[in-house]
Amino acid sequence: MADHVNKAEPDGTDKTPPAGPTMWDERYAAPGFLFGTEPSQFLKEHRDYLVPGAAALAVADGEGRNSVFLAACGLQVTAMDASHVAVEKARALAAEQGVFVDFHVADILGWDWTPNTYDLVAGIFIQFSPPGERAAVFEGMKRTLKPGGTLLLHGYRPKQIEYGTGGPPHAENMYTEDLLRAAFGDMEILCLAAYDRVVDEGRGHSGMSALINLVARKPH
């Protein structure tokens, strides 16, 4: 469930069905991997934060491309997603690449954000959550980090609506620098960057995209 395909019609009318496990199961049931098997470029570019042996949580991990990469880098990885179809594909990908990930089928709002559990939390293209749910997810991600732990967050900015190359067709679901500063102002922000770049991550993310990155550390 980590990623979302923009399905707005040419007239601007949103024809996207409500996001939920059934809808995501249908999308992930198509042959192949909707977002490819290679990890997010963002994750690869921030490999310095991926410490072998560290405990990591991959939030709404979809078909496993990012959690499997984390495990291949030597991290002890837990991953969750609401789609059982996606999780089965993720398990197959992990087996194919010879790594272990502790996968869970779980809705992001029902996830147990156990306090002080992970050294690293990664949320990559998780913008299916509307603003009313986003605050709870952000707070959970912060809570489950250990003191000194690192948050890696990557997604789209509102300008992405113009590109239409991935993500939900709702500007309010997107991130801005001000939004992330406000949400994570109680953490040490190590990097906050907004930029446009061509993304080639499966058929679900393909083309020029309006992106934003956040790297933040939980205080000790």
Q: What is the pLDDT of residues 40-53, one digit of tens each?
A: 999 999 999 999 99
Computed over every residue of the chain, the mean pLDDT equals: 89
Residue 157 in any domain: the answer is yes
pLDDT band, very low/low/confident/very high, at 33 (cuts 50, 70, 90): confident
Q: How far is CA 206 from the centre of its chain?
A: 16
Residue 9 in any domain: the answer is no
pTM for this entry: 0.88
Residue 180 in any domain: the answer is yes
Per-residue confidence (pLDDT) for residue 130, from 0 to 100: 87
Structural domain that includes position 85: 21-217
Yes or no: say if 195 and 211 are a contact pair by the CB < 8 Å rule.
yes
Per-residue confidence (pLDDT) for residue 18, from 0 to 100: 42
pLDDT band, very low/low/confident/very high, at 26 (cuts 50, 70, 90): confident
pLDDT band, very low/low/confident/very high, at 4 (cuts 50, 70, 90): very low
| Total domain count, the chain | 1
Per-residue confidence (pLDDT) for residue 28, from 0 to 100: 81
Residue 59 reports pLDDT greater than 80: yes
Residue 201 in any domain: the answer is yes
- Long-range Cβ pairs for the range 95-103 (8 Å, 24+): 97/68, 97/72, 99/68, 99/71, 99/72, 100/71, 101/58, 101/64, 101/67, 101/68, 101/70, 101/71, 101/77, 102/77, 102/78, 103/61, 103/64, 103/67, 103/79
pLDDT band, very low/low/confident/very high, at 34 (cuts 50, 70, 90): confident
In sequence order, which residues have a C-beta less than 8 Å from that of residue 77 and are 6 or more positions away?
56, 57, 58, 67, 70, 71, 100, 101, 102
In sequence order, which residues have a C-beta less than 8 Å from that of residue 22 and are 6 or more positions away?
none
Collapse the DSSP code of 51 into the 3-class scheme (helix H, G, I; strand E, B; otherwise coil) and give the result.
Answer: coil
Residue 6 in any domain: the answer is no
Q: CB count, 10 Å around CB of 6?
A: 19
Mind listing the pLDDT tens digit for each residue in 91-126?
999 999 999 999 999 999 999 999 999 999 999 999
Residue 56 in any domain: the answer is yes
Residue 161 in any domain: the answer is yes
Can you say whether the dihedral through the CA atoms of 123, 20, 92, 204 is positive or negative? negative
Residue 14 in any domain: the answer is no
Domain containing residue 91: CATH number: 3.40.50.150
Per-residue confidence (pLDDT) for residue 15, from 0 to 100: 33
